[in-house]
Amino acid sequence: MNNSSFQLDIVLTENGEIFNPIEIGMTSFIIKIICCSIGIPLNISSTVAMARLRRLHRKPRNFFLLGIILSYLSFFIIPIMELIYWGIYPDESLCHAYVAVIALPQGLLLVNMLLALVDRYLAINHPLLHREKMTNRLACCLVVTCWILTTFLFKFMYIVGLDILRCEILLLQVKTATDSVHYSYLDPVYGDE
């Protein structure tokens, strides 16, 4: 695969310019500022409280909870990047970073919730085995390893170099996204008419 694409394959705006994925309006800007200013301090305060209380240090399940909280905190990376791009630093490198991290917070949250679910399942159904085998070190290693694997799997195409980070959205991506929305949401609702 080469790094060139036909101009006809790139999504254009009404003015004929190349569509940029980081495009936010004033309402979206205000909502993102409010959410970031409320959500980031709340998540950080709960993380600090978990890290500072001694009684929470002894339980491996708190590492899974900490992973979930940090996943929620990573959700703020994308709006902060959009706000920086929109207001301060509209550069191509920031757009590439935006494209690189776009789906990661959702994947990390899903993996951390699955880890916490499996931990609670084992603690309830096999309490003796869980108490013996699950240590703080194992819980921490599981969370970190799963974060690294999730990041690698989600961004495999970019890491290996099979695809390039670009700020344009290709027509194929738009068609794939609209088809997936159509088939997953509209067909079960309306069926074959």
- Predicted confidence at residue 141, as pLDDT, reads 92
Q: Would you kindly state where each structural domain of the chain is located, as residue ranges?
A: 9-171
Q: In a 10 Å sphere around its CB, with 0-12 CB exposed, 13-18 middle and 19+ buried, how is residue 83 labelled? A: middle
CA–CA gap between residue 38 and residue 53 (Å, rounded)? 23
Selection from 80, 83, 72, 82 nearest residue 44 by Cα: 72
What is the CATH T-level fold of the domain 9-171, as seen in this structure?
A: Rhopdopsin 7-helix transmembrane proteins (1.20.1070)
Give the model confidence (pLDDT) of 36-94 as tens digits: 788 888 878 877 887 777 666 678 888 888 888 888 888 888 888 878 877 777 777 77
> Taking the complete model, does pTM exceed 0.85, yes or no?
no
